[in-house]
Amino acid sequence: MFVLVNLKTYPCDAVSVAQAAADVAADTDARIAVAPQAADLRPVAETGVETWAQHVSPHDHGSHTGSTLAATVADAGATGTLLNHSEHRLKLADVDGGLRAAEDTGLETIVCANNPRQIAAAATLGPDMVAVEPPELIGSGTPVSRADPDIVREAVAAADEVNPPVPVLCGAGISTGDDVEAAADLGAEGVLLASGVAKADDPESVLRDLVSSV
Ligand SMILES: O=C[C@H](O)COP(=O)(O)O
């Protein structure tokens, strides 16, 4: 199971969470990655943790104020990027363009989607992975793998129908090892989570519990 911790814009110490994730990954052989804000990519990557961007733009160098280029995040140490997170929705053309920009730079990609229909559309674009997250459960503390298991099962089936090699992650409310185990039982190959780690008093102990069943 792949555990991807999206720090969003939570007021946590990104480097400290990254160091905890690097330590837990080294101790357990679990695959754990951290996605900080763009400005924190380099110091997070310097901890040695697998580092992902939260978003990249479809553009190349030029007159694109406010954009985050795939080449720039890769240069800062990112090895993958999220696209189309529920909190950063994109036009279809920009999901496709972001994917192509990431691929050209050698970044791994996850396209996020709200439901199985969108997962099918996302998988058709050929990302490395897709992630299903019901928006109403994001940040709720109620894990999707228990609150809405059918959405995970149906997302796995939808991705399998259009692009069988593409792994499906699930996210929203995941915060314990039991939640991760439940996600795996539903066919997910990873979890995308945020508040359970970013808002924790002791992120390292949460991370150790998360990967305890992996
Ligand atoms: O990117 C992460 C997801 O939006 C899940 O967030 P959450 O773990 O706070 O529910």
Cite the annotated binding site for substrate by residue number. 6-8, 138, 173, 194-195
Mean pLDDT of the chain: 97
CATH for 133: 3.20.20.70
Question: At residue 142, does pLDDT exceed 90?
Answer: yes
Distance 61 CA to ligand 1 centre (A): 31
- If pLDDT is split at 50, 70 and 90, which confidence band does 201 have? very high
**Residue 10 in domain:** yes
Does the active-site annotation cover 133? yes
Encode pLDDT of 152-171 as tens digits: 999 999 999 998 889 999 99
pLDDT of residue 21: 98
- If pLDDT is split at 50, 70 and 90, which confidence band does 214 have? confident
Cite the annotated binding site by residue number. 6-8, 138, 173, 194-195
Question: At residue 213, does pLDDT exceed 90?
Answer: no
- When pLDDT is averaged across residues 95-123 and rounded to a whole number, the result is 98
Q: Are the beta carbons of 45 and 75 closer than 8 angstroms?
A: no
pLDDT of residue 165: 86
Does the active-site annotation cover 64? no
Distance 37 CA to ligand 1 centre (A): 14
- The atom of ligand 1 lying closest to the CA of 171 is 5
Rg of the chain on CA atoms, in Å: 16
pLDDT of residue 75: 98
**133, 136, 154, 181: the active-site residue:** 133
Question: At residue 32, does pLDDT exceed 90?
Answer: yes
**Which structural domain range is residue 180 located in?**
2-100+112-210
- If pLDDT is split at 50, 70 and 90, which confidence band does 20 have? very high
How far apart, in whole angstroms, are the C-alpha atoms of residue 126 and residue 156? 15
Encode pLDDT of 71-88 as tens digits: 999 999 999 999 999 999
pLDDT of residue 140: 94
**Residue 123 in domain:** yes
- The atom of ligand 1 lying closest to the CA of 82 is 1
**Residue 106 in domain:** no
Q: Are the beta carbons of 159 and 123 closer than 8 angstroms?
A: yes
Pocket residue to mutate for ligand 1, from 4, 6, 145, most atoms within 8 A of Cβ = 6
- The atom of ligand 1 lying closest to the CA of 195 is 9
Please name which of 169, 205, 200, 184 lies closest in space to residue 83, comparing C-alpha atoms: 169
**50, 55, 85, 154: the active-site residue:** 85
- When pLDDT is averaged across residues 89-114 and rounded to a whole number, the result is 98
Structural domain count of the chain: 1
**Residue 105 in domain:** no
- The atom of ligand 1 lying closest to the CA of 193 is 8
**Residue 181 in domain:** yes
pLDDT of residue 180: 97
pLDDT cut 70: percent of the chain above it: 100
pLDDT of residue 194: 98
Distance 195 CA to ligand 1 centre (A): 6
pLDDT cut 90: percent of the chain above it: 96
What are the Cα distances from residue 8, in Å, to 29, 34, 112, 151, 196?
A: 25, 10, 14, 23, 12
**Residue 92 in domain:** yes
CB-based pocket (< 6 A), ligand 1: 6, 85, 133, 138-139, 171-174, 192-196
Distance 141 CA to ligand 1 centre (A): 9
Encode pLDDT of 115-138 as tens digits: 999 999 999 999 999 999 999 999
How far apart, in whole angstroms, are the C-alpha atoms of residue 76 and residue 168? 27
For residue 193, the cross-strand partners are 5
pLDDT of residue 138: 96
